[in-house]
Structure 1
Amino acid sequence: MEYPLSLALVDFLPVIAMAVGVALLVPYARHPAVAAGGWLTVLGGALKAVWKLIMAIRGPDLVWLAEAQFFLLGIGFTLMAWALLGTGSGRRPPAWAFAGFALLGVAAAIAVMDTWPMLIVTTVSATLVGIRLLLLSRRAGAAAAVYLFGFNLLGTYVMGLLASRPEQTIALQWAEEILNTLNWSAFALGVWLLTRTKSPVAHSRRFTWSR
């Protein structure tokens, strides 16, 4: 498909919004897995945007740039989900279970030579991240953030439905880009509102993977 340059440039807006949200979330959560996972997701979105920009200016079709997104998002959201599930309590589910889930997705994607297994990993892990942030917001009394994370969750599923349509017209892709920008802007604003409350990690000055 030929992408207009304007559409390719707009694809960077949700990446920027996601980066802002991650930058705010990292010092709030105070766990290295949130930082690692968050920036992997940003990198995944950035690579996809770069691929679309190259296509728009009639450059080579570097398919790996687009497909890398699925692996980076899947692993990134899984890391974030595991870390955030223990934010505020320090009690996290077994790390091996989340690592195994992500690795199973990678292995399945390689075996079937398709990215849909990583899409499943991304969807499940992103859902856990969204629900956890929503619950943290409700506990902190950040009512507006609750609605923003709820919108982000709903938008994620709507984006999946739109992106799965076989007929990807330019008009449909404009709708997807606008929704995706709103979706991650809501995430960034929700994180900002949440971080204005007291951090759930009491006086932690040190990153430890065991926490």
Structure 2
Amino acid sequence: MSAPLNYPVPLAVEDFVPVLLTTCGVLLLHRRGPGYRIVVAAALIGAGGFAKATAKLIAAAGGPDLPWLRGMLFPLLTCGFALLYLTLTRDSARIAHRVAAAAVIAASALVAILARSPLPMLVSATVFATLTGFRLIGLARRAGDTTTAVLFGIQLVSFFVLGPLGSRPDQTVALQWTEQLCNTAAQAAFLVAARRSAQPARRYSGSSSTALQ
């Protein structure tokens, strides 16, 4: 969906804020697994959000609509969250998880191409973001850190609440400001939770036979 004609530039600029918060939060999770995988996952997730925010800003500034740039969001989020989830899930079933993740990504991409619709990639991005969210909540609970678990939960709930709101056709500027500010607050909660989980006293073990909560 292209940016509406009354989409103001300040609103478009603000859309970069939650992207930055999320990217920084993912980077702070580097102690949960191999550092380079976390960096790649953060880069993919950040690139997806940055691409869509850039497309919005260009349209809001009077430039052309760039569907190819907007369309990068869900494929990049899918790959980023899939890699993040696999990095956080280091157990005896990791090979099966990798095969399943690769199959989901390939199937979603194929269906999206055949149907010429971003919906399959939206679904796959939602699946991996949800798995990642539950994994982080489970690790926080296992460490006895209820506050961090709640903060991760806030970010996960916002993913389901703000998505349907953002897809509504009757998007007023006031509603869009509300949605984006709520999203910014949710990603700020994620950043705080990631920072708390990275502190030495709260280092969570993702090894052995831990299972997804």
What is the TM-score with the length of structure 1 in the denominator?
0.88
Structure 2 alignment gaps of length 5 or more: 208-213
- Could you report, residue by residue, the CA deviation over 1:47-79 in whole angstroms, capped at 9, with x for unpaired residues? 111111111211121111111101111121112
Q: CA deviation at 1:27?
A: 3.7
Is the partner of 1:166 in helix, strand or coil?
coil
Q: 2:205 aligns with which of 188, 200, 211?
A: 200
Name the residue aligned to 2:127.
124
- Could you report, residue by residue, the CA deviation over 1:11-51 in whole angstroms, capped at 9, with x for unpaired residues? 01101101210221124432544332222011100111111
Name the residue aligned to 2:65.
61
Name the residue aligned to 1:159.
162
Give, in whole Å, the separation in 1 of the partners of 2:18 and 2:126: 17
Indicate yes or no: 2:175 matched with 1:172.
Answer: yes
Q: Any runs of at least 4 consecutive aligned residues in structure 1 with deviations exceeding 4 A, and if so which? A: none
- Could you report, residue by residue, the CA deviation over 1:108-152 in whole angstroms, capped at 9, with x for unpaired residues? 111110100001001111000000000111112222111001111
Name the residue aligned to 2:210.
none
Name the residue aligned to 2:80.
76
Q: Say which is worse superposed, 68-77 or 124-133, in terms of deviation.
A: 68-77
Give, in whole Å, the separation in 1 of the partners of 2:134 and 2:17: 24
Give, in whole Å, the separation in 1 of the partners of 2:92 and 2:54: 37
Q: How many percent identity over aligned positions?
A: 38
Give, in whole Å, the separation in 2 of the partners of 1:100 and 1:28: 24
Name the residue aligned to 1:92.
94
Name the residue aligned to 1:9.
13
Give, in whole Å, the separation in 2 of the partners of 1:35 and 1:158: 28
Q: CA deviation at 1:201?
A: 6.0
With over 3 angstroms needed to count, the CA separation of the structure-2 counterparts of 1:35 and 1:10, relative to structure 1, is: same
Contact preservation (8 Å) 2:32, 2:204: yes
Structure 1 alignment gaps of length 5 or more: 203-211
Cα RMSD, aligned residues only: 1.7
Paired residue total: 200
Q: CA deviation at 1:91?
A: 4.7
Give, in whole Å, the separation in 2 of the partners of 1:49 and 1:6: 12
Q: Which amino acid in 1 is paired with 2:94?
A: R
